[in-house]
A and B are shown apart, each in its own frame.
Chain A
C-alpha cells in the first residue's frame, strides 16, 4: 500500500477511536467539546514516556489510556455538575487548559513538540479501531449500555428507578477519556512526533461533528460519521478536478484548466454538514433506520403504527 493510503488508514482509525471516545459521554446525554484535550493527554503521555525513558509502545499505550481515564474521572465529578451548554463550554475550556499547560511545560517540548522514538505502523491503529468498535457495540448491548441510554432519555426517572445517573455518566465520561488517551498514544507512535497544534479546538469540533452527524443513538453512528468525514475530503480531492472539467464543459469551455482551489473542498464539506443537520437532525444512522433495514420488521411496524393512530 502506498504511503498516502496507509496515512489515510491511520488517520481514519484514530478518528474512529476518537469518535467513540466522544460518543460514550454523548450517549449518556453529555456533550463533550474537549476531545482534543484528552487526545493530547494521551499523545503526550506516550511521547514523554517513550522519549524520556525509552519505554516500549506496549507500555506507553496502556499508560496513556490510564492517564486519559483517570484525569477524566477526576474532573468528571465537578464537570458533570454542569449541564447543557455549560458542560459544552466547560469541556471546551478544559481542553484549552490542557493545551496551555503542555505548551508551557519545557519537559514536554513546549511549542517545539516532542519526537517519539518507538514507531508503529498503520496496522496497530487499525486493529485498535476494530477492537474499540467491537467493544463499544458490546458495551451498548449490556445492562450498562441500557442505563447509558436511559440517562440520556430521562435522567430524573432513571434516578427514581434506583440507577445512579451520576455514576453512569462519570463512568461513560472516564471510559471516553481512556479511549481518547488511546487515540492520542496511537497518534504519537504512528506519526513519531507530537506538537500541541495538532490537538486544537477544531479537532474537538470535528470529532463532535462525527458523532452528532453520524448519529448518537447507536454505535453505528460514530463509525459512520468518522469514516464519512475522514474520507470525504480525500474523495473530494480526487473528484474536484473532474468536477471543474465537467462544469467548464457545460459552459462550452475546453482546453487546459488550472487545478481548482483547494479551499472549495471545505465549502462543499460545510454545505454537506448543514444539509445533514437540516434533514437528519438526529444523525444519519438512527435506531429507526436500523430497524427499517432489518428484514421482516418493516411491514409489522407500519401495521401497528396505523392501528395505534387509528
Chain B
C-alpha cells in the first residue's frame, strides 16, 4: 500500500471532524472520498497533508510512518494536496505560482519540469508572466494542479477540483486526472460530482459525519442504493448526475 490510514481522528476544538477513519490507497490507484458537506472530507485531506494535527491514529506513506510529520516532510516524501477553492497566490505571476510548488526541490531540475507543465497546459505558458488573478476559474485550477505537479508527487490529493467549473472544464479536468494517473501518479480524489468521481476511481469511500459508512469498488458503489441515501441525504435533485447512473 502507498497510503495506509488507521484510526485517524481529527478534532477542532469541540468539533470531532474525522472519527477513526481507516483508508488504503495502492500505488497507481485512484480512490475517491465522497460525502455531503461537513462530512469531514476536507479535514481528512488536511490532516493527511499535516496541515492540521490528528488526534490519534496513524498515517503510513510508502512504508514510512508520517503520523506526526510536518507538511514539508510529507511533500518531500511525495504527498501533495491541491486545496479546495483553487487557492493560488493571486499577487504572483503564473510562473511564480509554479515555482512555489518547486520550493522544496533545491537545485533540482525544476526548469525542465516547468517546461513539461507548460507543454501540458499551453494556456499557462502563454500567461506565464501575468498575474494569476486574471486567469479564468478553470485555468486557476490547472495552475493549482500544475503547482502541485512541480513538486513531483507520488500521490496527489485533490479537494473538490471541479467545484465551480463549467461542464466543459469539468470534462477536461477528469481527463487530466486519468492522464496523470496513467503517468504513474496515485490520486486521492474528494468530489461533489459523485458520478464522475466514481467513473474515474477504482475504489471509493463514503463519509458521513466524520465516519466511513461505506467503502467498496467504484462500480459497485455507483450501483449501491445506500450511497444515494447516505450521500444525498434526501436532498436528491433530478439534475444530479447520480440519478443518471442509478
Which A residues fall within an 8 A CB radius of B?
A: 143, 146-147, 149-150, 152-154, 156-164, 217, 287-288, 291, 301, 304-305, 308
Q: What chain B residues lie within 8 Å of A164 (beta carbons)? A: 70, 72
**Distance A143 CA – B96 CA, assembled complex (angstroms):** 10
Which stretch, B3-11, B130-138, B225-233, B237-245, touches the partner chain A? B130-138
Would you call B26 an interface residue if the criterion is a C-beta within 8 Å of the partner chain's C-beta atoms? no
B130, A157: Cβ atoms closer than 8 Å: no
Which stretch, B17-25, B75-83, B113-121, B192-200, touches the partner chain A? B75-83
**Distance A161 CA – B104 CA, assembled complex (angstroms):** 8
The DSSP consensus for interface residues of chain A is helix
A162, B89: Cβ atoms closer than 8 Å: no
**Distance A147 CA – B100 CA, assembled complex (angstroms):** 7
Known: A146-B99, A157-B83. Contact between A287 and B127, CB under 8 A?
A: no
Would you call B90 an interface residue if the criterion is a C-beta within 8 Å of the partner chain's C-beta atoms? yes
A154, B51: Cβ atoms closer than 8 Å: no
B71, A153: Cβ atoms closer than 8 Å: no
Q: What chain A residues lie within 8 Å of B71 (beta carbons)? A: 159-162
**A282 to chain B: closest residue by CB:** B91
Return 8 A-B CB contacts under 8 Å, by A number: A154-B89, A156-B51, A157-B83, A157-B89, A162-B103, A163-B103, A163-B104, A291-B131
A162, B104: Cβ atoms closer than 8 Å: yes
**Distance A80 CA – B191 CA, assembled complex (angstroms):** 35
A146, B100: Cβ atoms closer than 8 Å: yes
**A291 to chain B: closest residue by CB:** B131
Question: Closest Cβ of chain B: how far from A245's Cβ, in Å?
Answer: 46
**B75 to chain A: closest residue by CB:** A162
Would you call B222 an interface residue if the criterion is a C-beta within 8 Å of the partner chain's C-beta atoms? no
Q: What chain B residues lie within 8 Å of A158 (beta carbons)? A: 100
B147, A161: Cβ atoms closer than 8 Å: yes
A287, B131: Cβ atoms closer than 8 Å: yes
Question: Closest Cβ of chain A: how far from B105's Cβ, in Å?
Answer: 10
A-B Cβ contacts below 8 A, count: 77
B131, A288: Cβ atoms closer than 8 Å: yes
Would you call B37 an interface residue if the criterion is a C-beta within 8 Å of the partner chain's C-beta atoms? no
Q: What chain B residues lie within 8 Å of A304 (beta carbons)? A: 126-127, 130, 134
B130, A217: Cβ atoms closer than 8 Å: no
Which B residues fall within an 8 A CB radius of A?
A: 46, 49, 51, 70-76, 81, 83, 87-92, 96, 99-101, 103-104, 126-127, 130-131, 134-136, 147, 151
**Distance A301 CA – B135 CA, assembled complex (angstroms):** 12
**Distance A217 CA – B133 CA, assembled complex (angstroms):** 15
Known: A162-B75, A164-B72, A287-B131. Contact between A157 and B104, CB under 8 A?
A: no
B89, A156: Cβ atoms closer than 8 Å: no
Q: What chain A residues lie within 8 Å of B100 (beta carbons)? A: 146-147, 150, 158, 161, 163
**Distance A153 CA – B131 CA, assembled complex (angstroms):** 13
A287, B91: Cβ atoms closer than 8 Å: yes
B134, A305: Cβ atoms closer than 8 Å: yes
Q: What chain A residues lie within 8 Å of B103 (beta carbons)? A: 143, 147, 161-163
Further pairs besides A160-B46, A164-B70: 8, Cβ < 8 Å: A150-B89, A154-B87, A161-B147, A162-B71, A287-B91, A301-B130, A304-B126, A304-B127
**A153 to chain B: closest residue by CB:** B89
B91, A149: Cβ atoms closer than 8 Å: yes
**Distance A175 CA – B8 CA, assembled complex (angstroms):** 40
Q: What chain B residues lie within 8 Å of A154 (beta carbons)? A: 87, 89
Q: What chain B residues lie within 8 Å of A217 (beta carbons)? A: 91
List the 8 shortest-distance A-B pairs measured between CB atoms, nearest first.
A162-B75, A162-B72, A153-B89, A157-B87, A162-B104, A160-B81, A153-B91, A163-B103
Q: What chain B residues lie within 8 Å of A308 (beta carbons)? A: 134-136
**Distance A143 CA – B103 CA, assembled complex (angstroms):** 8
Q: What chain B residues lie within 8 Å of A143 (beta carbons)? A: 99, 103
A162, B76: Cβ atoms closer than 8 Å: yes
Question: Closest Cβ of chain A: how far from B159's Cβ, in Å?
Answer: 10
**B135 to chain A: closest residue by CB:** A308
Q: What chain B residues lie within 8 Å of A152 (beta carbons)? A: 91
Known: A146-B96, A150-B92, A304-B127. Contact between A161 and B87, CB under 8 A?
A: no
**Distance A41 CA – B135 CA, assembled complex (angstroms):** 46
**Distance A146 CA – B151 CA, assembled complex (angstroms):** 16
**B97 to chain A: closest residue by CB:** A150
Q: Out of B72, B87, B88, name the residue touching A156 (CB < 8 Å).
A: B87
Q: What chain A residues lie within 8 Å of B81 (beta carbons)? A: 160
Q: Out of B74, B83, B89, B135, name the residue touching A149 (CB < 8 Å).
A: B89
B51, A160: Cβ atoms closer than 8 Å: yes
**A151 to chain B: closest residue by CB:** B89
**Distance A161 CA – B74 CA, assembled complex (angstroms):** 9
